[in-house]
A and B are shown apart, each in its own frame.
Chain A
C-alpha cells in the first residue's frame, strides 16, 4: 500500500520557521510508524531528525504526535491508523530542537522534583535479606512502576500546555510509585511537594494522560489517589 506522510520539519540552522514536508512511500499494513520514519531518513531525506532506540515500546524515546495524538512511533502500526494519510509532529508543550526532537529537560526537571527514589533510612533486616512485602502490598503500586518516562502523558495534558509550572502527570505517577510502596518512608515529603501550587490540584481530570499512555497506566486514578492521600492524610 501507499502512504503519505506529512512531517513537521524545523532545522534551526536553516529555517526561520517550521514547515511541513510530504513524502509518499510504499508501506506494509504491519509497518510501525517508526519504520516509515526510518525509511524516509534512509532513502528520502537523511536530514530528518527523531529519537528512537528499542523500537518496541519500552524505552520511551520516540514519543511524538501522530495524526494529532501523542503516541510512541514504534507502537503504532499503519493499519491501526485507519488512514493512509499520516501527519507526524513533535510533542506539544516542549521546545522543538529539530524536526521531531523536543527538549526533554523541563520534563525530567519536573520528575526530579518529586523525590523519585526510594527513601527508607531504617536498616534492612539483620540477616541482610530482602524487606518483606506481601503480594497485595506489591500490587498496590504495580501500575505506576510501568512508567517509561516517555513524556506522552505530560505533553497531552491541557493544564501542562497552559501552565509551565505544573509538574505534569508523569512526575505524579512516579511519586505515586513510591508513596504507595509499603517499604518506603518518604510519602509525607512527597505529598507536601505535590500539595504545592504546581502539584496535583492543578489536574482537571481531563483524562488525556490516561488515554494517551502507551503503557496503559491508569494515570488519572493514580493522581486521584495522591489527591486523596493529601486530603485525608491516609495511604490506604
Chain B
C-alpha cells in the first residue's frame, strides 16, 4: 500500500470551531501546524448552531460572569467541575469580543453593541427570571463563528489537509508520536509524525434515530482514544434537545422560545407552566425534553402522536408575553410582529417551509426531542490536556477540545449557548498549550509499523466476507438507543440495549461492502465510522446502567432521585484488553456552590 509521511509540531484533527480556534493559536504561536479534517472545514457542524454564544456582556440588562457560572453549575445538575465552569464563564466576554474583532457579524442593539437574547437556564440570579445573555447573529450564530474562524485561518495561512480521515493515534512510551490518516480522495495512507495532537472531532449524535447531528458526527476521536486504552468520561450524559422537527430531528433553536415561542400540547395548554413555574419554556433542556416525553406518554401529544407544537405565531407570543409581564429593555411591554421574528429567525422559518411545508408565522411547528449533544467525552483539564486516569495524569502531547472533550463544563446537562462558548474557549487553550508543549520538546521516534493497525482495520472491513449490510446494523443500533438509552431509562431497557449492541458488534464482523476501491470509498469509511459508533453505544449504555440515580440528562425511571451521597462523581470508562469495559469514578470539583435541589 502506498504511504506518505509528514512532520508537524502540532496536528489538529477536526476543523469545526474548536479545531479552527486551536489551529489559529498554534499557528500564531509559531508551531508548524496542520489541520486534518474529514470534511472541507466549512462543512463542520459548528455551522449548524443557531441561537447564540453565552457571555455576560450585559449589553441590554445587568449581568455578571458570576451569574453565568452559577447558572451553568445548576444547569449541570452539580456534576460540572466548578473551577472549569468559572474559568469558561469569566473568559466568555473577552472571547466574544475577540470574535467580534475578527469580524464576526453579530446582530446589533440599537446603540450598536452585540445583540443578546434570553436562552434556557440563563437567569438573573437575583430575580430568577430569564436574562439576555446569548450573543447572536440572527439564527445562524454557529455559521458565522465557523465562517469567521475559517476566514481567519486563510488570513493566517493555516495548513489544511481537507477530506483526510484520521484513523489512529500513535503513542510511544505514553507520549504522542503521530496520527495515521487516509486521504479520502485517493485512498492513500498518510502518517503524520508530530509532537502534539489536538482532537476536535465533535460529537456522536448518529447513535440515535432522531438527531440534530450531521451524518458525519460519529465520534471518531473519542472512539480512537478509547481503543488506544484511554478513558471516556460521563458517557451516560447525552442531551436531547427539546425541539427537533418531528421525524427529521432538525434543530429548531431554543432562540425561538427566547423570542417568546411556547410549547403547546394537544389540549392547547402551555404545559411548561406545570414543570417550571418560574422560567417556563426557558427551563434547562433536560427538564423540557422530559416534560415533552411525559405529555406524549400521558396522551397529550398532538392528535395522540409523538410530538407537540412549538408555537411562535406573533399572536401567541404576544399573548403569553402579556401573561408573563415580559418587557423590552426600555420597560415597554414585549410585543412582536411577524416581520421582526422573520428577521431574527430567518433560517428556522426557511427550515419549516422547506421540510414541513408550513409557515411558522401562521401555523405552529411540530417538534419532538432530538439527540443533540454529548456532555461526556475525552477527559481533559482546563488546559485541554487529555487525562489518562482518575488521578488527573496528563498524556504528554495529547489535547482535546469541543464536544468530543469533557472538561467538565457541562456536567449532566449543558445549557444552550455554552457549546459555542466551550469550543472557542477550550479550542484556544488547546492551541496555545499544544504549541507551547511542542515547541519545548523533541519528536518521539515513530515506529516503523505505525500505520499497521489502521491499515488492518480498513482491510478487514474492505475484504469482509459476510452478507450483513452496514445500514441494517446502524438502523438497529439507532432504534435500540432511541428506545432505551434516550430521555428515560430503566435497568431492563438498558440491559436489553446492551445485549443488542453486543449482538450488533458480532454482526459487524460479518459485513459485506460493495466498494473495494480506493478513490472516495465512502462506503468503507461509513463502515469504519459505524465501528466507532458501536463502541460508543456500548460504553454509553454500560455507564448508564451503572449509574443508579437520576441527574441532568440521565434519567432513570427506576431511580428517579438525584443521589449526591453515592453519585456526585464522574464516571470514567476504559476498554480493557479482553474487551471488557471497566468503570471507575472521580470526584466532582466543587468550589463555591454546594449542591442544592434544582428547580426552575
Give A contacts to B, CB under 8 Å.
11-14, 30, 41-43, 45-47, 49-61, 75, 77, 97-99, 101, 104, 108, 112, 116-118, 120, 124, 128-135, 137-138, 141-142, 145-149, 177-178, 181, 183-184, 216
Contacts and interface: CB of A to CB of B under 8 A. Distances in A.
Contacts of B325: none
Specify which of A14, A53, A177, A216 lies most central, judged by the most chain B CB atoms within 10 Å of its CB: A53
A118 B148 contact: yes
Contacts of A135: 107-110, 112
B192 to A, nearest CB: 21
B108 A133 contact: yes
Given A59-B45, A118-B103, A134-B112, 17 more contacts: A52-B215, A54-B214, A56-B355, A58-B48, A59-B39, A59-B44, A77-B354, A97-B185, A97-B520, A101-B520, A117-B155, A124-B101, A130-B106, A130-B113, A145-B144, A148-B42, A148-B47
Nearest to A216: B350
Contacts of B519: 11-13, 97-98
Interface of B: 39-40, 42-45, 47-48, 57, 94, 97, 100-103, 105-114, 137-138, 140, 143-144, 147-148, 151-152, 154-155, 185, 214-216, 248, 250, 347, 350-351, 354-355, 469-471, 513-515, 517-523
B154 A184 contact: no
B42 A116 contact: no
B48 A75 contact: no
Contacts of A97: 185, 519-520
A98 B185 CA distance: 9
A128 B108 contact: no
Given A55-B214, A118-B102, A61 B43 contact: yes
A117 B47 contact: no
B517 A117 contact: no
7 contacts: A53-B216, A57-B351, A116-B151, A117-B103, A117-B155, A137-B108, A181-B103
Specify which of B100, B140, B250, B522 lies most central, judged by the most chain A CB atoms within 10 Å of its CB: B522
B35 to A, nearest CB: 14
A183 to B, nearest CB: 7
A177 B103 CA distance: 11
A149 B42 contact: yes
A59 B214 contact: yes
B255 to A, nearest CB: 15
B105 A141 contact: yes
A149 B42 CA distance: 8
Contacts of A41: 522-523
Contacts of B250: 55-56
Given A130-B114, A181-B103, A183-B103, A98 B48 contact: no
Contact of A53 (B108, B113, B214, B515): B214
Given A130-B97, A131-B101, A117 B151 contact: yes
B55 to A, nearest CB: 11
A215 B350 CA distance: 9
Nearest to B475: A42
Nearest to A131: B100
A129 B523 CA distance: 48
B348 to A, nearest CB: 11
A57 B214 CA distance: 11
Contacts of B351: 56-57
A54 B45 contact: yes
A77 B470 CA distance: 25
A53 B45 contact: yes
Contacts of A50: 522
B241 to A, nearest CB: 14
B151 to A, nearest CB: 4
Contact of A45 (B101, B105, B143, B514): B514
A54 B215 CA distance: 6
B515 A46 contact: yes
A133 B354 contact: no
Specify which of B108, B520, B521 lies most central, judged by the most chain A CB atoms within 10 Å of its CB: B520
A112 B154 contact: yes
A55 B152 contact: no
B471 A53 contact: no
Contacts of A124: 97, 101
The 9 closest A-B CB pairs, nearest first, are: A118-B103, A46-B514, A42-B471, A132-B112, A117-B151, A46-B523, A117-B155, A47-B515, A53-B214
A138 B108 contact: yes
B394 to A, nearest CB: 32
A181 B100 CA distance: 12
A59 B251 CA distance: 14
B103 A178 contact: yes
Contacts of B513: 46
Given A47-B523, A54-B47, A61 B39 contact: yes
